[in-house]
């Protein structure tokens, strides 16, 4: 697949390895110690169902290249949408001009990690799926959601498919190629009863063939889950407020780990000393029950990649081990400046963006406790199953997250569903107050997207059921603590 992808770029744009090497060579020299070119060709398609009607599908192609020059801490970057020698040379000259004024650098580049992956070797590209097959699935989803309960009055769903081809040139003269498929299914249901309307949502996806949605009944689980949430929300009560024990369910609640802890472990924030975790390698930053990894090597997952966007194969990076901070996520530039190795976390949204340290699939490993025992251990608290939006301050770790599905825990049992609930806390403090970790690690269903510095990339999360003591977290709600 990689060799075929190399030929795709070379033949489509009348390029050769020699021509590409010549451009890279023109950037290098003097103060410029590293140069590379990132070629991209991305085809995407979206089909939407709105209340029983199929909208016209939208599709598009992104193509272009970004030329990067690094000198010391300074990066020169220039892009072109036209992939031929003249425009590539112009971009190369611009990148070199920006970077060359940084002065000489005595730091050498770390050795490249050389370990091939083949994480999404599919029999067919999802982009080759006929429009009729996608339309048929959307109509089936509409039927399944409405059959779940007569109170479901509206269904919205869309199927997005993408095939991204990348070619990375430079560094050591090699061409690194990858073909990255991506499928995402999103569903939202509206339920109505006595004039009250509520919504529920779900989805699934990954670097998979379209047929996986059918063969593994992923679409059925997502459709029924969206309908279930909408019906559930018709009976919610106001959320309590105050300090109380919180239990996070498995899977998607790992988004709190991703935001409140994961971003603080990215190399650039720590090199600049602005993360709450800066300078704490070897120190205890979480409960000894917590081991956190970022793993870009899980087959077919949304956040997985054969190689990052700098040509480094992805890895399974242990970040926190039994509560001890052992590493950060690194791209090429920050690894060089911190005198450590790259970790395969150099990512970018597209050719128009500079790479930076980003997460792939961020996961807390399972513990030993049955999840039901964790619920039974809580006299009064909150059981959080799903989250919506949230905000995190990287400099101090403070976060606020909205819960889209949560329940009261009363005398060791989950009882009433609640609405209007938020979780307020500090990432490192919450991690220090994890008192129980379940044996039921689950990964999310494949819909995660992460934003940083204006760039979005697909990611994954994973979490077992965990208990956070009330000293480490606050519940925000519309009812007072102790209220019903």
Domain limits, the chain? 2-235, 238-476
pLDDT tens for residues 21-39? 999 988 987 788 899 999 9
Q: How far is CA 426 from CA 25, 131, 244, 365, in A?
A: 47, 46, 15, 21
pLDDT tens for residues 169-214? 986 778 999 999 999 999 999 999 999 999 999 999 999 999 999 9
Q: For residue 482, name the pLDDT band (cuts at 50, 70, 90).
A: very low
Answer yes or no: is pLDDT of 480 > 70. no
Number of other CB atoms surrounding residue 195 within 10 Å = 5
Does residue 368 sit in helix, strand or coil? coil
Q: For residue 477, name the pLDDT band (cuts at 50, 70, 90).
A: confident
Q: For residue 72, name the pLDDT band (cuts at 50, 70, 90).
A: confident
Any idea of the CA torsion for 478, 244, 438, 277, to the nearest 10 degrees?
Answer: 100
Residue 163, Cα to own-chain centre: how many angstroms?
Answer: 17
Provide the mean pLDDT of the chain.
92
pLDDT tens for residues 295-335? 999 999 999 999 999 999 999 999 999 999 999 999 999 99
CA geometry: angle at 236 spanning 235 and 239, to 5°?
165
The runs of H, that is alpha helices, within 200-297 are 212-215, 218-232, 254-257, 267-271
How many whole angstroms separate alpha carbon 311 and alpha carbon 113?
9
Q: For residue 476, name the pLDDT band (cuts at 50, 70, 90).
A: very high
Instruction: Return the pLDDT at 366.
Output: 98
Instruction: Return the pLDDT at 174.
Output: 83
User: Average of pLDDT values for 47-65?
Assistant: 93
How many whole angstroms separate alpha carbon 342 and alpha carbon 328?
10
Q: Give the strand pairing for 413-419 and 237-238.
A: parallel
How many whole angstroms separate alpha carbon 381 and alpha carbon 243?
9
Could you please state the CATH topology (level 3) that the domain comprising 2-235 is classified under: PmbA/TldD fold (3.30.2290)
Q: Give the strand pairing for 245-248 and 380-392.
A: parallel
How many whole angstroms separate alpha carbon 186 and alpha carbon 441?
23
pLDDT tens for residues 106-146? 445 555 556 568 999 888 899 899 999 999 999 999 999 99
Share of the chain above pLDDT 70, in %: 95
Burial of 242 (0-12, 13-18, 19+ CB in 10 A): middle
pLDDT tens for residues 382-415? 999 999 878 888 888 899 999 999 999 999 999 9
Answer yes or no: is pLDDT of 484 > 90. no
How many whole angstroms separate alpha carbon 92 and alpha carbon 82?
13
Nearest to 420 by CA among 248, 236, 244, 189: 236
- Is-contact 188 197, C-beta < 8 A? no
Answer yes or no: is pLDDT of 464 > 60. yes
Instruction: Return the pLDDT at 113.
Output: 55
Answer yes or no: is pLDDT of 286 > 50. yes
Q: How far is CA 410 from CA 87, 415, 423, 465, 477, in A?
A: 66, 7, 18, 17, 17
User: Average of pLDDT values for 412-441?
Assistant: 95
């Amino acid at each position: 697949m990689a060799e075929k992808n190399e030929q795709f770029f070379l033949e489509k744009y009348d390029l050769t390895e020699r021509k590409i090497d010549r451009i890279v060579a023109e950037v290098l020299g003097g103060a410029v110690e590293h140069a590379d070119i990132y070629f991209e060709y991305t085809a995407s398609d979206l089909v939407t169902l709105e209340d029983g009607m199929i909208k016209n599908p939208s599709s598009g192609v992104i193509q272009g290249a970004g030329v990067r020059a690094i000198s010391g801490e300074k990066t020169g970057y220039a892009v072109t949408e036209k992939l031929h020698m003249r425009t590539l040379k112009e971009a190369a000259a611009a990148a070199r001009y920006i970077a060359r004024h940084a002065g000489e650098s005595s730091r050498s580049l770390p050795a490249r990690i050389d370990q091939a992956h083949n994480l999404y070797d599919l029999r067919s590209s999802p982009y080759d799926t006929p429009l009729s097959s996608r339309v048929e699935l959307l109509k089936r989803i509409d039927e399944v959601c409405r059959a779940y309960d007569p109170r479901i009055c509206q269904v919205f769903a869309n199927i997005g498919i993408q095939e991204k081809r990348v070619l990375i040139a430079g560094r050591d003269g090699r061409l690194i190629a990858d073909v990255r498929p991506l499928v995402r299914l999103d569903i939202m249901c509206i339920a109505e009863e006595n004039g009250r309307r509520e919504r529920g949502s779900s989805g699934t996806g990954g670097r998979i063939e379209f047929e996986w949605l059918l063969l593994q009944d992923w679409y059925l689980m997502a459709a029924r889950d969206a309908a279930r949430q909408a019906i559930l929300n018709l009976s919610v009560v106001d959320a309590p407020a105050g300090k109380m024990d919180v239990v996070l369910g498995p899977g998607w609640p790992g988004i709190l780990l991703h935001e409140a802890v994961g971003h603080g472990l990215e190399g650039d924030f720590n090199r600049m000393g602005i993360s709450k975790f800066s300078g704490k390698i070897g120190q205890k930053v979480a409960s000894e029950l917590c081991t956190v990894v970022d793993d870009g090597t899980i087959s077919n997952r949304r956040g997985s990649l054969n190689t990052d966007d700098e040509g480094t194969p992805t890895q399974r990076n242990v970040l926190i081990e039994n509560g001890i901070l052992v590493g950060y996520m690194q791209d090429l530039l920050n690894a060089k400046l911190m005198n450590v190795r790259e970790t395969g976390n150099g990512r970018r949204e597209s050719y128009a963006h500079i790479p930076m340290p980003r997460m792939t699939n961020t996961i807390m490993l399972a513990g030993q406790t049955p999840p039901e025992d964790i619920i039974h251990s809580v006299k009064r608290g909150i059981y959080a199953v799903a989250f919506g939006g949230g905000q995190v301050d990287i400099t101090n770790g403070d976060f606020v997250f909205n819960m889209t599905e949560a329940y009261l825990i009363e005398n060791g049992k989950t009882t009433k569903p609640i609405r209007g609930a938020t979780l307020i806390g500090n990432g490192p403090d919450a991690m220090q107050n994890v008192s129980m970790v379940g044996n039921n690690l689950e990964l999310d269903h494949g819909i995660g997207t992460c934003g940083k510095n204006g760039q979005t990339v697909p990611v994954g999360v994973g979490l077992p059921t965990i208990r956070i003591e009330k000293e480490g977290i606050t519940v925000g709600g519309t009812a007072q603590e102790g209220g019903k």
